[in-house]
Every structure is written in structure tokens, then in C-alpha cells.
Amino acid sequence: MKNTSTRETFLDQLGSVDQVFRLFEFVPNVSFFVKDRRGRFIALNGRGCQYCGVGSQEEAFGKTDHDFFPKSRADEYRADDMAVMKSGQAIVDRVESAPEYAGSPRLVMTSKIPLRNNQGKVIGVAGLSRQIEQIQSASGTADAFAKVIAYLHDNFSQRLSSAELAEMAGLSVGHFERRFRHAFGTSPRQYLVRIRIEHAASLLRESDQSISQIALACGFYDHAHFSRSFQRIMHQAPSQYRCS
């Protein structure tokens, strides 16, 4: 009870929470953000400002992901935010599209938590995003997979096996898959599907190719699998996405 009282007394005296937010300026290559229920930015660190293309967080206040990022990515981020606020449950180490320039297929690992007011009502979300290529793992850095990651991005439309990727990394298949999942929070196959869907979304927006043609161009040899994967990641069917 005494410790709880000490904590409450300290927090009552703390003043502006911006003092705590400032700490995230010193975490390299990590984007920190806070948004309200409507998805408007309330706080951003320096890395987050770089992603949004603004010089300071004040320039982002009151704006949303749709003001800064391609629609497909902004829609993804908003859907995840809504899921966190609706469920009250955190998203931990979700692999998703990097908030970079339009057309970039790079990925980040993101964690989000719901933020509650004094009455316990969820009023927003806070999150961290880390670049995939710079994530640290207990058995070494993700740089050990740099060649594999680059190969996946350059050859996503090809049939790629875990055995082929494991050989590239100089590991057995089992060891490779375990280390990959530990470093990136997902399997090599799921990572590859995420890259393919990002490219498919770009083609749906920017080309007149049929959905079947796009599926084949992005490495999906089964139209049904493409549709299911797209729905799971983008939260809508390819046809709906193209018309949105």
C-alpha cells in the first residue's frame, strides 16, 4: 500500500506527459506515436516525424495516417488501431508495411497498446515500430538474414522454398525457420506473403490488369489463396480494394 501511495504521489506531481514522450527521441530507428480514437496524431518522436515527412510533431497534430501515407497503408494502420481500441488488447510485434514512400515494399514490426482515461474508457492507442532489417534477436542481429531478406524482396513472385532460403543463410531448415521467426515474429512464408500482398495492392491501384493476372504476377498460383490472403491482410477483398 505504501509503494502504491508513493507511486500515485509521484505521478500526481509529474506534470506534462511530454516529458516521458521525449525519452523516445533517444531510441534509434524506432518510431513512437500516440493517436486518439479518431486516429489523429497526439505525439510523435523524431523517427515518426521522418516517416510522416514533417519537421516536428506539431505539424502532425490533428492529422491522421491518411494525410501522410498511401491509402492502402493508411487503411491497414487504421484497421489495426480500431482492432486494438475495440478489443482493449495489445498487438505485439505485428509485421506490416513500412510507412515510407509510396511503393516501398519494406516491412516493420509494430506493437500497439490501448490507452485508457481515468474511467477506464479506451481513448486512443500508443505504438512503436521498428525496421525489420534492424531488429535484434537473442541469437544475433537480423543482419544475419540480410541476404535472405533482400532475396525475398527481389524475387517475391518466384516459387521459394524454406530449404532454398535456409541454404542461403547457411543453416538447416529447422534452425533457419526458428531463428527467422524469433527475429521477425513471423515465419518466412508469412513474411513472403506480406511482401506479395503489398505489391498486389500497388498493382490494383495503379494498373488495369485483372485480379487473376495480378495474383499470378505476385507469385500466387491459386486465385482463392490470393483472395484469402489479401482479405486477411488488407481487411477487404481485392475487388473492393480496387474500387475503394
DSSP labels, 21-64: HGGGGGSTTEEEEEEETT--EEEE-HHHHHHHT-SSGGGTBT--
Of 190 and 140, which is predicted with more confidence?
A: 190
Structural domain count, the chain: 2
Counting Cα atoms < 13 Å in the Cβ hemisphere of 115 gives: 15
CATH of the domain at 230: 1.10.10.60
Give the residue numbers spanning the domain of 204. Answer: 137-243
Q: What is the CATH number of the domain that holds 105?
A: 3.30.450.20
| Range of weakest confidence among 7-11, 112-116, 142-146 | 142-146
Task: Calculate what percentage of the chain has a pLDDT beyond 90.
Answer: 38
Per-residue pLDDT at 102 = 44
Query: Percentage helix, strand, coil, to 5, in the chain?
Result: 55, 20, 30
Does 158 lie in the same domain as 46? no
Query: Same domain, yes or no, for 59 and 87?
Result: yes
Q: Is the pLDDT of residue 82 over 90?
A: yes
Q: Are residues 171 and 220 in the same domain?
A: yes
Residues facing 141 on adjacent strands: 136
pLDDT per residue as tens digits for the range 143-157: 557 778 878 888 999
Backbone angles phi, psi at 63, to 5 degrees: -100, 165
Give the pLDDT confidence of 46-80 residue by residue, as tens digits: 989 988 888 899 999 999 999 998 777 788 788 88
For 65, counting Cβ atoms within 10 Å of its Cβ (0-12 exposed, 13-18 middle, 19+ buried), the class is: buried
